[in-house]
Amino acid sequence: MTPGAARVVAAHGRHVLIETADRRRLHGHLRGRRADIVVGDRVRWQCAGDEAVIEAVEPRRNLLMRQDAWRSKSFAANLDQVLVLVAGEPPFSESQLARALVAAADAGIAAIVGLNKTDRPAAADARARLAPYRAMGVTVLEFAAKAEPQAARALLLPRLQGRSTLLLGPSGAGKSTLINLLVPDAGAQVGEISTALNAGRHTTTSTLWYWLGPGHDSALIDSPGFQQFGLHHLEPTRLAALMPDLAAHLGGCRFHDCSHRREPDCAVRAAVDAGQIAPTRHRLYLELLDELQQPARR
Ligand SMILES: Nc1nc2c(ncn2[C@@H]2O[C@H](COP(=O)(O)OP(=O)(O)OP(=O)(O)O)[C@@H](O)[C@H]2O)c(=O)[nH]1
Ligand SMILES: [Mg+2]
Ligand SMILES: [Zn+2]
């Protein structure tokens, strides 16, 4: 990195924590009224007392975002991988899982799923609900971050090596538990700033970048659990191509612009009838499609 280059390791609105090329961490804020800066961003900065002023944000390799009818929210930038964490307790929403995977596919970021809390009886139900995802080629890793920490570490570390991985998942899935397991000095890495941002709550309120080891080549990014995962930034016609189980049957429909709703000779619906696409997945697709085709309320 050239002098004055840094990486954003925590972001809370216009207030950020950056890590400089010589591994110092500084509070920073954006010049002017820009507020489009996220964890993972590469920035150029200048000193302003003991703070940093962010002069510019470098072009991003990718950006994971969600967008509802009213506003968009970016999770993080310049990622190699997304790890969507789910559990049987609290029961995960398949809609949120599907949305996270579609958003990652749209952003060109690889995604894997982690089923946490396998020590709980409810894991069996969660495992069954993940079957269509395994069948479509999604890697699903199972572990118990709290109950069987050593096995969880051994399973996950090779998957995280040399990459920057965003942890995504509903509140209570165990994202912070996993961070604390994999990043022994997690508290020290984020320091007071994020402790202050988080104000002693058990629930994560800001996105935070952690190095997995002293080599600084593998990173894990904790993010707050989310309720809504809007995909309004997607072109409705691209949706099916971003869902691998549906995508496998595209091109076989009678109409090239088939919406796979009720057109005759639809290869996607035929695949549902033949048991090749889970009916729940087709329903999720229709639900998302309806949502994307609603006129934007802006
Ligand atoms: N039984 C069991 N409980 C676990 C396991 N892993 C985490 N938990 C518990 O699940 C609860 C939620 O874990 P957190 O790590 O705070 O979840 P989070 O995803 O960070 O939640 P937010 O910050 O609210 O988004 C805590 O009480 C953990 O102790 C596990 O492997 N087994
Ligand atoms: Mg958390
Ligand atoms: Zn069709």
pLDDT in tens, 186-208: 877 766 555 555 555 555 667 88
Residue 203, pLDDT score = 59
Residue 298, pLDDT score = 47
Cα–Cα distance, 141 to 31 (Å, whole number): 42
Percent of the chain with pLDDT over 70: 91
- Residue 43's pLDDT band, with cuts at 50, 70 and 90, is very high
Task: Note the CATH number of domain 63-222.
Answer: 3.40.50.300
What topology does CATH give the domain 5-57? OB fold (Dihydrolipoamide Acetyltransferase, E2P) (2.40.50)
Q: For ligand 1, say whether the CB of 114 is within 6 Å of any of its atoms.
A: no
Residue 81 backbone phi and psi in degrees, to 5 = -165, 150
Average pLDDT on 44-68 reads 91
Highest mean pLDDT out of 37-51, 221-235, 256-270: 256-270
* CATH 2.40.50.140 placement within the chain: 5-57
Average pLDDT on 84-111 reads 96
Residue 2, pLDDT score = 47
Residue 1, pLDDT score = 44
Average pLDDT on 284-295 reads 92
Average pLDDT on 70-91 reads 93
Q: State the average pLDDT for the chain.
A: 90
Residue 155, pLDDT score = 98
Residue 34, pLDDT score = 66
pLDDT value at 169 more than 50: yes
Is residue 155 exposed (0-12), middle (13-18) or buried (19+ Cβ within 10 Å)? middle
Q: For residue 290, give Cα distances in angstroms to 94, 256, 261, 297.
A: 17, 19, 10, 14
Q: For ligand 1, say whether the CB of 176 is within 6 Å of any of its atoms.
A: yes
Cα torsion for 147, 150, 152, 154, to the nearest 10°?
-170
Lowest mean pLDDT segment, chosen from 26-40, 47-61, 240-254 = 26-40
Highest mean pLDDT out of 5-19, 168-182, 237-251: 237-251
Instruction: Determine which helix (DSSP H) or strand (DSSP E) holds 156, and give its type and residue range.
Output: helix 149-160
Minimum-distance ligand 1 atom for the alpha carbon of 224: 25
Lowest mean pLDDT segment, chosen from 64-73, 116-125, 228-237, 267-276 = 64-73
Residues forming a β-bridge with 219: 164, 211
- Residue 91's pLDDT band, with cuts at 50, 70 and 90, is very high
DSSP-based three-state secondary structure for 121: coil
* CATH 1.10.40.50 placement within the chain: 236-293
The better pLDDT of the pair 236, 1 is held by: 236
Shortest-distance ligand to the CA of residue 247? 3
What's the distance, CA 242 to chain centroid? Answer: 15
Q: For ligand 1, say whether the CB of 146 is within 6 Å of any of its atoms.
A: yes
- Residue 261 Cα to ligand 1 middle (Å): 39
Question: 100: Cβ–Cβ under 8 A, 6 or more apart, which residues?
Answer: 82, 84, 111, 168, 169, 229
* CATH 3.40.50.300 placement within the chain: 63-222
> pTM here?
0.92
Average pLDDT on 14-37 reads 84
Q: For ligand 1, say whether the CB of 90 is within 6 Å of any of its atoms.
A: no
- Residue 290 Cα to ligand 2 middle (Å): 32
- Residue 262 Cα to ligand 1 middle (Å): 42
Residues forming a β-bridge with 165: 81, 220
Average pLDDT on 61-79 reads 89
Percent of the chain with pLDDT over 90: 68
- Residue 294 Cα to ligand 3 middle (Å): 20
Residue 201, pLDDT score = 53
- Give me the architecture of the 236-293 domain, per CATH: Orthogonal Bundle (1.10)
Minimum-distance ligand 1 atom for the alpha carbon of 143: 31
Cα–Cα distance, 256 to 250 (Å, whole number): 9
